[in-house]
Amino acid sequence: MNIHRFASRFARSIGMSITSAAIALPTLAADRVTFYYPPFFEASISVDSLEVFADDGTIADELTFYARFVEPDQIEALRDILQRRFRVSAITVSQFTYTEIGEILLRQLGQVLRTESNQNGFYSLRAALLQAAARNPEGLTIIDLLRAFPVDTIRVDVRLGLDTAEELSSFFLRRDAIVAAIQQKAILEAAANPIDASALPDLRTPGRLRAQTLPLSFSTANRERAVAATLYLPEVRTNTPVEPAPVIVISHGIASDRTTFAYLAQHLASHGYVVALVEHPDTSARRFEQFFSGFDYPPDSLDLITRPLDITALLDELERRSQTNPSFQGRMDLDRVGVIGQSLGGYTVLALAGAQLNFPRIRQECVDPELRQLSFNLSILLQCRAIDLPSDVYNLQDDRVKAVLAINPIDSLLFGQEGMSQIQIPTMIVAGSEDIFAPPPEEQFHPFHWLTTDEKYLVVLGQGTHFSFLNTGRQRGVLPVPPDLIGPDPVEVQPYLKVLSTAFFNAYLNDNPTYLPYLSASYLHSIDQDPFSLSLVRELTEEQLNAVP
């Protein structure tokens, strides 16, 4: 290996290693950080030098050699990472790092950041996180973590770090290549079939109806406590015959609640739909607040079953009230039900639509914990909880569901091709191009390709993240998600989801084909605005899914 090229790669790896540690779970070492690349190189840098560099930008003598091989913008980026404070409580750190997912992530990071005796740094990393979070309630920095590390030196495996960085880079390059192929396909489709958007009513605006908001509480045989929901019931106009309206149920993701999509429920109700927002108790914001505060346990695998059953129980409750409560009689058509779900809610509604849990695939992929540690798809850690389910025979489909809209769903391992191919109703899958929690190629693009229903749509939100459609705001939310991962202001995305959902359900629940032009690449391209873009396709080929960067 050319020594200059190696030195350049090595110096760059310092920044990459520290940055990767900060992004995953920010931590490093104590008095010194030793970087080694056997048999070529081993060098050590003091934490004092890193701290001086972080404070005022001074590059100490021992850093001068490495700085020669790093671009100025990379040096500044490294300093920014070293200065950044991560606001997380000691209780939250303790709760998370003792979960199975937390342990897997720490062990994965510990393969690169090792102890003096060259052992996996898992235990030292966890101890450093706990101590640093306790000592710095205002927010901890990487330097704080370095000072809290329980040994004198942490060894950074540069070779493994570089390999991991290259694999991660390839992972994102492949994602971007597939997104680009989809966007190009949508552009060609829009040019070939232009739509005059000005001739269509603007579905981003509210409809003509007001809605009454009603709290609901209902029992289910699968839970010990009642499940809460909020019902949006469109007004009945005087001297107007009452016709039963289709029902739409919205399922939130992890650490959210029934207020997350209140903006969408209000909009759909104004267009004549009865909308129910269900709150899944085991994965709600309240449950996670209690968990991170040390007063509850994390959700278990049974929630993968109880979530779809919550919605079935809600539909049963609405049917009962329609028959016994005069205020509900004749108001709801429970043979025309649409479901919307985000993230784990996306899994939930796909299961209701007929997707079958694929236990052979789950067992094959999840039986070996080492396999889970090799994946950059963080949602696999959640999906692998299914291996602990007590039985492999579940019928989660609800025949009342006639159309499904899944946003950022996690489903690749849970359903696989065999499970997704069972869906036979109109399906729309919405993906965010920058989603790192449910990566689009694995969790949305391939599952879309596996669908066999003729009426299927894939929408890609350019610059969209896992949080772009959530009404939580930048300062709210239970999970400690940095603003950089939330992305551009989610409020700007809400009108897009209003259009997509209103047009989709008007077309397939109300059987009104005049709304199909809205579900086109041309129309969506006409309404998107920077920084976001909208691309819609009806098919994906193997060639497009295997796009090479």
pLDDT at 77: 76
Spatial CA neighbour of 402 closest among 427, 420, 438, 383: 427
Q: Residues 261, 365: one domain?
A: yes
Say whether pLDDT at 352 is over 90: yes
Confidence category of residue 547, pLDDT binned at 50, 70, 90 = confident
Residues 426 and 456 sit within 8 Å (Cβ to Cβ): yes
Q: How many domains does the chain have?
A: 2
Q: How far apart are CA 431 and CA 462, in angstroms?
A: 9
Last residue of a domain, one of 151, 166, 188: 151
Token couple for 548: 């090479």
Q: Residues 49, 192: one domain?
A: no
Say whether pLDDT at 423 is over 90: yes
Please count the other Cβ atoms lying within 10 Å of the Cβ belonging to residue 411.
Answer: 27
Q: Residues 241, 124: one domain?
A: no
Give me the DSSP letters along 46-103: EHHHHHHHHHH----HHHHHHHTTS-HHHHHHHHHHHH--B---HHHHHHHHTSHHHH
272 domain-assigned: yes
- Helix or strand holding residue 230 (H, E): strand 227-234
| Range 160-171 average pLDDT | 79
pLDDT at 375: 67
Q: Residues 62, 122: one domain?
A: yes
157 domain-assigned: no
90 domain-assigned: yes
Say whether pLDDT at 144 is over 50: yes
| 253 or 66: which leads in pLDDT | 253
Distance of CA 357 to the CA centre of its chain: 20
pLDDT at 15: 40
Spatial CB neighbours of 379, under 8 Å, sequence gap ≥ 6: 410, 412, 437, 438, 439, 442, 443
pLDDT at 149: 84
Say whether pLDDT at 188 is over 60: yes
Q: Residues 68, 135: one domain?
A: yes
Token couple for 294: 């040390």
Residues 286 and 259 sit within 8 Å (Cβ to Cβ): no
Q: Residues 145, 181: one domain?
A: no
Q: How far apart are CA 45 and CA 345, in angstroms?
A: 46
pLDDT at 125: 87
| 5 or 52: which leads in pLDDT | 52
167 domain-assigned: no
Say whether pLDDT at 165 is over 80: no
Residue 284: DSSP 8-state: B
Q: Residues 140, 194: one domain?
A: no
Place of tokens 């295997």: 546
| Range 94-119 average pLDDT | 81
Give me the DSSP letters along 298-338: PP-TTHHHHHHHHHHHHHHHHHHHHHH-TTTTTTEEEEEEE
Distance of CA 334 to the CA centre of its chain: 30
State pLDDT tens for residues 175-187: 999 999 999 999 9
Give, in order, the Cα–Cα distances in Å from 109 to each of 87, 92, 139, 145. 20, 19, 21, 14
State pLDDT tens for residues 255-288: 888 999 999 999 999 999 999 999 998 887 777 6
pLDDT at 152: 83
Token couple for 252: 């939130």
Q: How far apart are CA 469 and CA 384, in angstroms?
A: 25
pLDDT at 162: 72
Pairing type for strands 41-46 and 32-37 reads: antiparallel
Q: If 0-12 CB within 10 Å is exposed, 13-18 middle and 19+ buried, where does residue 104 land?
A: buried
Q: Residues 406, 518: one domain?
A: yes
Residues 288 and 254 sit within 8 Å (Cβ to Cβ): yes
Token couple for 457: 């749509």
Give me the percent of the chain exceeding a pLDDT of 90: 49
Q: How far apart are CA 345 and CA 299, in angstroms?
A: 14
| Range 324-335 average pLDDT | 92
Residues 107 and 120 sit within 8 Å (Cβ to Cβ): yes
Instruction: Identify the domain containing residue 76 by its residue range.
Output: 3-151
Q: How far apart are CA 477 and CA 280, in angstroms?
A: 16
Question: How long a stretch of residues is the chain?
Answer: 549
Residues 545 and 446 sit within 8 Å (Cβ to Cβ): yes
Place of tokens 């609405």: 318
Least confident stretch, 15-19, 141-145, 152-156, 442-446: 15-19
State pLDDT tens for residues 481-507: 767 778 888 899 999 999 999 999 999
156 domain-assigned: no
Query: Looking at this protein, which amino acid is placed at residue 215?
Result: P
State pLDDT tens for residues 382-404: 898 899 898 777 899 999 999 99
Query: Looking at this protein, which amino acid is placed at residue 281?
Result: P
| Range 424-440 average pLDDT | 96
Residues 535 and 524 sit within 8 Å (Cβ to Cβ): yes
Q: The domain that contains 326 carries what CATH number?
A: 3.40.50.1820
The packing angle between helices 100-110 and 90-97, to 10°, is 90
158 domain-assigned: no
State pLDDT tens for residues 11-27: 434 444 433 443 343 43
Q: Residues 273, 228: one domain?
A: yes
Q: Residues 344, 286: one domain?
A: yes
524 domain-assigned: yes
Say whether pLDDT at 439 is over 90: yes
| Range 473-478 average pLDDT | 49
Quickly list H helices, 354-493: 359-366, 369-373, 379-383, 412-420, 440, 446-450, 483-486
Least confident stretch, 104-108, 240-244, 296-300, 449-453: 296-300
Spatial CB neighbours of 148, under 8 Å, sequence gap ≥ 6: 30, 127, 128, 129, 131, 132, 135
Q: How far apart are CA 127 and CA 105, in angstroms?
A: 14
State pLDDT tens for residues 37-47: 766 667 788 88
Q: How far apart are CA 225 and CA 229, in angstroms?
A: 13
Q: Residues 222, 305: one domain?
A: yes
Q: Residues 75, 203: one domain?
A: no
Give me the DSSP letters along 197-228: GGGS--TTS--S--EEEEEEEE--TT-SS-EE
Confidence category of residue 92, pLDDT binned at 50, 70, 90 = confident
Q: Which residues, listed in sequence order, are joined to residue 277 by a DSSP beta bridge?
A: 230, 250
Confidence category of residue 30, pLDDT binned at 50, 70, 90 = low
